[in-house]
Chain A
Amino acid sequence: MSLQEVSLYEIVKKQVIYKVKSYTGILHTLMVLQIIGLFFAASGNSGMMGGSSGTLNYSITFFSGTAITVMTIMWIITNSVLIATTAYKNDDFTFVSTRWSRHLANGIYITFLAILGTLTSYMGINLIKIVYQILQIEAIYDINLSYMDHFSSIINIFGYILLSGILAYFIGSVLQFNKLFTIFGIIAIVALIAVFNSFNGVNLYYSLGRFILAEDSIAIFMVKIAGICLLAFSASWFLNKNQEVYT
């Protein structure tokens, strides 16, 4: 029993600041992976087309920030799983904290990583534009986006990255709950989906992914993302709320 009453807000705030300042390896990884993504994007691998008409041969190369976004998603998945591991959990309990405060701090930290990843991956493609502009290699064209297009694009990328991070955190929490259960659970789910796909002649992974991600309305997309994130985050909490501090 303590004479000092500590607010949840203060504890979570301290833990989040601690995570931001101490998990520096995560920041290094982000930079390295995004630079690799930049090289992929600079090669114009997002699509090419061409042809000829009379005396004119034309080729059109499309550049896209997809490679950078994919690298960022890989980065947040890896780190969100790691945050749920025992090593990081032990670090968290060097503070005065509860499982709930730790869980909240992890959620806020993953959101912070998602915001960081979104902004950096969105801005990354501009580096390639400048290089091509300075070198003046070939005719280039940048499609002019409206402010709304920029906004919806940033929201989309944020949605993908946050969803990946929270789902990865959920997987990490499940792994902490019971390793054998997790492995057999995954095998059972994959097997059941395979059976379902073969009997019904559908691709459930694709349909599910399309239902969640391929949404035309930005508002509905964000509602879906928020709903799934809340579900996964709550499930992670229920799985870990009764665990021992040190295992």
Chain B
Amino acid sequence: MILVALMPILILVSIVIAILRFNSPNVKTSKTKLSSIVSIRLLMVYVVVLLVATVWTWAFPVSSESVTALTSKEVNKKKQDYRLLTAGNAGKMDDSSIIETWTQSVNDGVFKITSKSSEQMPLNLVIKRIDDSESVVKASLYQSMVLYNHYEVQTNLDQVNIEWQNDTLEIGNQTPPETNLNLKFYDYAPINRKFQLEYNYGEFSEYLPVLYVEVPKSIKLYVDQRLVTTISE
């Protein structure tokens, strides 16, 4: 599109230059110097530099490790798995997305989950009541993720402050710091349009970390329901 728009201007510029240089015999003195060895060598150096840069970028792709290319099918699967996780079914989630796991024995048969303030929770809290005779609470923190169409971006939103104090789990009441994420995409102009059609850089989904807490049914649970995303039996 840019080229199409610029084409008439480029042609007009060339016409102006042509009229200015029209039939000037002096042009050849500055343009046709026969001592061309240095110039050709200079051009060769320029081409070699570009060639090395091209080979380098093919050999060592520039993609940052924090950005993973996913197919649309993989993206949909991740979304589906995340939905299941927040509904209390962690079975589909990959273990590699767990940041940390805690296991705590509860002595008095009472377990509390608290938050220091009523501010918005920095994560999704999912509680699953399980049939277990042992008085053990297990909590797993699943990382956050950002899905930008075909790309998954891990962010530092995983930094959630969680503290265990005997039988009480306290979730950090601080809102996670704002993350500035700068992505840079490279492409080539002639197929820009193709990318825009195929990739449609529009859909942006951010998924907060999930704290998945498994609590035996035998244990009494005290928790402010406003903190909880899902309680699954």
Residues of chain B within 8 A of A167, CB atoms compared: 11
Q: Which residue of B lies closest to A138 (CB)?
A: B182
A116 to chain B, nearest CB (A): 8
**A228 on interface, CB distance cutoff 8 Å:** no
**B73 on interface, CB distance cutoff 8 Å:** no
**A184 on interface, CB distance cutoff 8 Å:** no
A140 to chain B, nearest CB (A): 4
Interface of chain B residues 6 through 29 with chain A (CB within 8 A): 6-8, 10-11, 13-15, 17-19, 21-28
Q: Contact between B23 and A59 (Cβ–Cβ < 8 Å)?
A: no
Q: Contact between B18 and A55 (Cβ–Cβ < 8 Å)?
A: no
Residues of chain A within 8 A of B4, CB atoms compared: 206, 209-210, 213-214
Residues of chain B within 8 A of A130, CB atoms compared: 53, 56-57, 62
Instruction: Give the docked Cα–Cα distance between A166 and B132 (Å).
Output: 81
Q: Which of B1, B3, B56, B199 is close to A73, meaning CB atoms less than 8 Å apart? A: B3
A205 to chain B, nearest CB (A): 5
Q: Contact between B15 and A186 (Cβ–Cβ < 8 Å)?
A: yes
Instruction: Give the docked Cα–Cα distance between A206 and B189 (Å).
Output: 18
Q: Contact between A85 and B21 (Cβ–Cβ < 8 Å)?
A: yes
**B165 on interface, CB distance cutoff 8 Å:** no
**B96 on interface, CB distance cutoff 8 Å:** no
Residues of chain A within 8 A of B205, CB atoms compared: 53
Q: Contact between A56 and B146 (Cβ–Cβ < 8 Å)?
A: yes
Instruction: Give the docked Cα–Cα distance between A58 and B39 (Å).
Output: 45
**A234 on interface, CB distance cutoff 8 Å:** no
Instruction: Give the docked Cα–Cα distance between A80 and B13 (Å).
Output: 13
Residues of chain A within 8 A of B181, CB atoms compared: 56-59, 139
Q: Which of A31, A57, A77, A210 is close to B10, meaning CB atoms less than 8 Å apart? A: A77
Q: Contact between B183 and A64 (Cβ–Cβ < 8 Å)?
A: no
Residues of chain B within 8 A of A172, CB atoms compared: 18
Instruction: Give the docked Cα–Cα distance between A243 and B7 (Å).
Output: 30
B178 to chain A, nearest CB (A): 5
Bits for B166-201, please: 1 = Cβ < 8 Å to A, else 0: 000000000111111111111111111111000101
The interface-forming segment of A1-9, A16-24, A103-111, A194-202 is A16-24
Q: Contact between A168 and B153 (Cβ–Cβ < 8 Å)?
A: no
Q: Contact between A24 and B36 (Cβ–Cβ < 8 Å)?
A: yes
Q: Contact between A55 and B47 (Cβ–Cβ < 8 Å)?
A: no
**B54 on interface, CB distance cutoff 8 Å:** yes
**B64 on interface, CB distance cutoff 8 Å:** yes
Residues of chain A within 8 A of B46, CB atoms compared: 31, 120
Q: Which of B14, B49, B153, B184 is close to A132, meaning CB atoms less than 8 Å apart? A: B184
Interface of chain A residues 101 through 156 with chain B (CB within 8 A): 119-120, 122-130, 132-133, 138-145, 149, 152-153, 156
Q: Contact between B11 and A138 (Cβ–Cβ < 8 Å)?
A: no
B126 to chain A, nearest CB (A): 18
Instruction: Give the docked Cα–Cα distance between A81 and B27 (Å).
Output: 12
Q: Which of A30, A90, A127, A129 is close to B49, meaning CB atoms less than 8 Å apart? A: A127
Q: Contact between A64 and B13 (Cβ–Cβ < 8 Å)?
A: no
Q: Contact between A123 and B178 (Cβ–Cβ < 8 Å)?
A: no
From B6, B18, B19, B175, residue with most partner A Cβ within 10 Å: B18
Q: Which residue of B lies closest to A81 (CB)?
A: B18
Q: Which of A49, A55, A88 is close to B178, meaning CB atoms less than 8 Å apart? A: A55
Given contacts A64-B188, A82-B27, A77 and B13 within 8 Å (CB-CB): yes
Q: Contact between B187 and A28 (Cβ–Cβ < 8 Å)?
A: no
**B60 on interface, CB distance cutoff 8 Å:** yes
Q: Contact between B184 and A74 (Cβ–Cβ < 8 Å)?
A: no
A209 to chain B, nearest CB (A): 4
Bits for A209-220, please: 1 = Cβ < 8 Å to B, else 0: 110011000000
Other than A23-B31, A124-B50, A157-B189, give 14 A-B pairs with Cβ distance below 8 A.
A21-B34, A22-B34, A24-B35, A54-B208, A56-B178, A56-B179, A74-B13, A86-B23, A87-B23, A129-B53, A138-B183, A143-B195, A175-B22, A213-B3
A-B contact pairs, 28 of them (CB 8 A): A21-B40, A22-B33, A23-B31, A27-B39, A53-B146, A56-B157, A59-B182, A60-B185, A62-B185, A66-B3, A70-B10, A87-B23, A90-B28, A119-B50, A124-B50, A125-B188, A127-B53, A128-B186, A129-B62, A132-B184, A133-B57, A133-B62, A140-B186, A141-B62, A141-B63, A142-B61, A143-B185, A143-B195
